[in-house]
Amino acid sequence: MMRCRACPGSSAGPTWPARTARFVRALSTRAARPDSEAGAWTAPGARALAMVALAALIQATPTQATLTQATPARTSRTWKAPTRVAAAPSPPARQLNLTFRAPVSYRSWKLEADSSSTTVSQLHLPFTASIGMGKNFDLVISGGMGLSSLEPDSGRLLSLDGPTDVIAQAFLRGAGNRLLLQAGVNLPTGKRDLQADQLTVSRALAHPLLAFRLKQYGQGTDVNAGLAFALPLASGVTFGVGAGRIFRGAYPLGDDMADFEPSAETAISTGLDVGRDDGTGPSARLDAVHRLYGTDRQGGISVFEPGNQTELQLAVRSGRGDNVGSQGVRVDVTGRLVWKANDQFLSATTPGEPQATRPGTFSRFTAAASFPLGSHLRAGLNTEWSGFTGGDMAGSKGSVSGTDGPIYGINGSVYGGGPELRIGLGRSGAFTMGGSYLLGTLDAKEAADRTDLSGFSAFCSLAWRTGP
């Protein structure tokens, strides 16, 4: 059976310390850098854009109207649970190995309400390069670019194209791979200081249920640090804890706007990993993260206090690892729940009269099943469901001008699914492609009918590894 060295779990004989390293790294990354994966709900950009959108609605400035009101919560990028099976053993000291991944994706939604429609689309072109330097040190660099658009059925096409920030992360392992120290920096290479039309597109991308991979192109210079420790409780049972802090730099939101100054944030994570040491058979992982925020400022004035946030995630697997040629059916199921305390707008309305809002609760469930079609090919099906409830942010006009058109709500649900195909490229790589057909609804808002959603997503991903 051919094994892919670029795939997680490609070790011919994973050891306990190597498998533990994957678990402890996930705990540290979630605590120290919640934006490590593009996705659904909580980065400083979304609440910054929400604040700008609310100000635009209060001031009735037509050119700053938005497709849909972004939640003021941080758009936490959906974290994808790492596979239960261990990565390949660390290389010998003073040897380098490089793992490169390019998970390209395209997603498009059509929103229909009150006899009008709007189409929002995005092509995301990210990359991640991981450099192993000896037995205990890794450097990970990621970046990319995005091409996004918003087009009402009666209006001109708006676009937002450009590079994203570059993120560099360093990982140092110790104590037999049970201790991990992490530090990183977000370099402000992405597109910032947006024009009014580009802000409109950016706020449309921020809707939590549309699940665009790239919600914000550029931020400020951020610095993060974290650590995590894993403690074996029994054979096949590991408990872990982690903590991290992010210091965020100021950056411009748009033309003629004072710099937005997001607060620092602190996170504490814990998790439990259960399964066989060799990575075969069923496995499960449960983890939790609690995030605490400070007060955001703009132009030296306190403007927003985000509520603290709690996240729970469960990942369950049956089958034999991630190798393309693994025998038998493999099933993966994940569930994620995110909820927040109330947010406070401090000066978005009349000075001295804070406005409290309920950010809402986000939930997401995925399931995937795959089976081998040979030693180099694996096919499967994937399904997903996401829901958003309890948010009380006001909707906004769906037209480009903001003077007419339907009002899109924040609460609702989406679901979909489709095929997936994975091809092994010898021992060094794998190519994956697939797609999904998507449907959903957004709840009615004010006098508007509910909004019907329809769309599709497609992706292809190349993973390649060099070195020992």
- What is the domain partition of the chain in residue ranges? 16-466
Strands, E assignment, 341-405: 343-345, 355-357, 361-374, 377-389, 396-397
Spatial distance between the Cα atoms of 22 and 44, rounded to a whole number of angstroms? 27
- Residue 421: helix, strand or coil by DSSP? strand
Q: In what order do the strands lie in the sheet with 296-298?
A: 260-261, 296-298, 301-305, 343-345, 355-357
Residue-level pLDDT at 468 = 61
CA distance 52 to 186: 23
Q: 164 near 127, Cβ under 8 Å?
A: no
Spell out the residues 6+ positions from residue 115 whose beta carbon is closer than 8 angstroms to its own: none
* Distance, CA of 337 to CA of 391 (rounded, Å): 15
Note the pLDDT of residue 279. Answer: 65
DSSP-derived secondary structure letter, 76? P
CB 72 within 8 A of CB 47: yes
DSSP state of 393: -
- 3 state DSSP class of 403: coil
Q: Give the three-class secondary structure for 433.
A: strand
Residue 345 · residue 374 · CB < 8 Å: no
C-alpha–C-alpha distance, residues 3 and 412, integer Å: 42
Closest C-alpha among 121, 214, 209, 215 to residue 386? 209
* Contact indicator for 34, 290 with CB cutoff of 8 Å: no
Q: What is the pLDDT of residue 293?
A: 93
Q: What single-letter DSSP state applies at residue 71?
A: P
d(CA 133, CA 96): 5
Cross-strand bridge partners of residue 133: 96
pLDDT one digit per residue (tens) for the chain, 468 residues: 333 444 443 333 333 445 566 666 666 666 665 544 433 344 444 555 555 444 444 333 333 233 333 333 343 333 333 333 333 344 444 567 899 999 999 999 999 887 788 999 999 999 999 999 888 899 999 999 999 999 988 778 999 999 999 999 999 998 888 899 999 999 999 998 888 888 889 888 888 889 999 998 999 999 999 999 998 888 889 999 999 999 999 998 777 788 889 999 999 999 999 987 666 778 899 999 999 999 999 888 888 888 999 999 999 998 765 565 567 889 999 999 999 888 888 865 455 567 777 888 999 999 999 998 888 899 999 999 999 988 876 444 444 334 344 456 778 999 999 999 999 988 789 999 999 999 999 886 654 568 899 999 999 999 998 866
What does the pLDDT read at residue 360?
85
Distance CA 65, CA 394 (A): 13
Cα Dmax for the chain:
68
Residue type, 267: A
Beta-sheet pairing, 343-345 with 96-113: unpaired
| Spatial separation of the C-alpha atoms in residues 398 and 452, rounded to whole Å | 13
Give the C-alpha separation, 410 to 308, whole Å. Answer: 20
Q: Which two tokens stand for residue 202?
A: 């950016």
Tokens 């040979």 belong to which residue? 374
Question: Which one-letter DSSP state was computed for residue 92?
Answer: P
Q: What is the pLDDT of residue 161?
A: 96
206-219 pLDDT, tens digit each = 888 899 999 989 99
Q: How many residues appear in the chain?
A: 468
